[in-house]
Structure 1
């Protein structure tokens, strides 16, 4: 019976991963080979020049740097901000706490697009529109409610004696949080890093608005538009560009997958 389950899971896994394999295969084909080959993965001729065209001619080397800067900065801000908010919600009792949690949970059902106009207006007033800093603050300034609740659920399980010992040693809020609580939340932090990294790396709407008039500031997701013309699309170059943008995501998930699973499991348990 076990081998039947294994066979079924293998088939499901192959079906699930096939689109990813097809993208990588299409990235080394020419435009004719993509459409003539159908569902076949193996190209008749290998066109590695698709990657050089995407990297150099389409400017993806610059877009990659922009995306790394924006994503790393956004992830750092989100982790610190959401961890601090989750810590306060979990460890402190204050008036309106339950109402605050309810409001945070309710914001998860509000479409992100509704906030784009005030975000752009505020960024323009502050002189941050069409800048990396403005884009970073716009991406990191969202609710990120799931991350806050993940941290809150984790911190709620930590014994109070740990904080009391820190207070006895003369540690204040900042020292207790950064030196004790945040390091303990490794699995949750890994989960938040992966989820925020994915959301930021693949975000299209905000980077499009913030880089519309400054093409050099584009991220990878927006840079994909370079392969779409008025009357035609460079499908092989687009597949190569998509493959380049996928590699950092796959590498990050492979490195943090154990901590990611532990963080999700801990959140579900709490």
Structure 2
């Protein structure tokens, strides 16, 4: 009996080793976030004196009040939500349409278009800021939330287009043929049939776009130079950095406020995110 038990434990040893390794990696990966939450409830002095200690001596809930009210993060949250939701909506519709055409139709120049899209992946973001600012100035959109939305949603989004193209390519053509026989045009086929079927991919693209837009710093910084009320959460984080000192506990509280919507959205969409990536890779 003991020999059988020993043999069984020996066979499971590699599995337990993998579990232990993954558990250690999970703790290392999650610890910075846990420490940030802990720092958001400490005084500025305790942040430095407590070291790696997680539980604060005294819970300083006023840090959140200071971040939300004094640092104007309430206003920045509204700006960020409007900016992110609008950008996600535009990017999803635009990339879904482009991916649908590239994935389902054959036409001259298709390979050239795909090559140009892939080539844009190698263009640094910094090289595009000057033409974006110049064009926004010409259209009187530089110091506005509308201009910021158009600038962020006008990116190439090559990954999103290719994910949609790969997903639409694997759908059966009978769906379109049946709808066409019933008198449906391009728009009706796309919005009534194809787009609802691509929900896993849409969730993936929406989540990736949400993350990129929510954390965007460079473009929102440029567009809010002349109007601080247009700042987003990432840009507003600078309010805690002074000339001679930095409010680390207030910055940690602001960081927690900024990251909680991302965590909540990911937990809600994680199943669709995995399905969308798996479907695109499978195609």
User: Fold conserved (TM > 0.5)?
Assistant: yes
Kindly indicate whether residue 73 of structure 2 is the aligned counterpart of residue 60 of structure 1.
yes
Deviation at 1:41, TM superposition (A): 1.1
Deviation at 1:109, TM superposition (A): 1.1
Deviation at 1:85, TM superposition (A): 0.2
Counterpart position of 2:176: 163
Kindly indicate whether residue 117 of structure 2 is the aligned counterpart of residue 92 of structure 1.
no
Partners in 2 of 1:268 and 1:35 — Cα distance? Answer: 46
Partners in 1 of 2:86 and 2:235 — Cα distance? Answer: 18
Deviation at 1:113, TM superposition (A): 1.0
Counterpart position of 2:186: 173
Deviation at 1:149, TM superposition (A): 0.2
Partners in 2 of 1:199 and 1:109 — Cα distance? Answer: 17
Partners in 2 of 1:260 and 1:231 — Cα distance? Answer: 44
Query: Across the two proteins, how many residue pairs are aligned to each other?
Result: 270
Counterpart position of 2:202: 189
131, 134, 142: which one pairs with 1:129?
142
78, 84, 88: which one pairs with 2:91?
78
TM-score by length of 1: 0.99
Counterpart position of 1:242: 255
TM-score by length of 2: 0.94
Deviation at 1:269, TM superposition (A): 1.6
Deviation at 1:32, TM superposition (A): 1.0
* Residues 123-143 of structure 1 deviation map (CA, whole Å, 9 limit, x = unaligned): 111011110100000000000
Partners in 1 of 2:120 and 2:52 — Cα distance? Answer: 41
Kindly indicate whether residue 51 of structure 2 is the aligned counterpart of residue 38 of structure 1.
yes
Deviation at 1:4, TM superposition (A): 2.2
Kindly indicate whether residue 234 of structure 2 is the aligned counterpart of residue 221 of structure 1.
yes
Partners in 2 of 1:113 and 1:177 — Cα distance? Answer: 35
Deviation at 1:3, TM superposition (A): 2.3
Deviation at 1:267, TM superposition (A): 1.6
Kindly indicate whether residue 222 of structure 2 is the aligned counterpart of residue 209 of structure 1.
yes
Q: What does 1:99-138 align with in structure 2 at a 5 Å threshold?
A: 99-138=112-151
Deviation at 1:99, TM superposition (A): 1.1
Indicate the structure (1 or 2) with the bigger Cα radius of gyration. Answer: 2
Deviation at 1:265, TM superposition (A): 1.3
Could you list the structure 1 runs, at least 4 aligned residues long, displaced by more than 6 angstroms after superposition: none
* Residues 155-199 of structure 1 deviation map (CA, whole Å, 9 limit, x = unaligned): 000111110111101111110000000000011001001100000
User: In angstroms, what is the RMSD of aligned CA positions?
Assistant: 0.7
Kindly indicate whether residue 23 of structure 2 is the aligned counterpart of residue 10 of structure 1.
yes
Partners in 1 of 2:163 and 2:191 — Cα distance? Answer: 17
Counterpart position of 1:24: 37
Counterpart position of 1:233: 246
Partners in 1 of 2:129 and 2:280 — Cα distance? Answer: 30
Partners in 1 of 2:170 and 2:37 — Cα distance? Answer: 43
Deviation at 1:39, TM superposition (A): 1.4
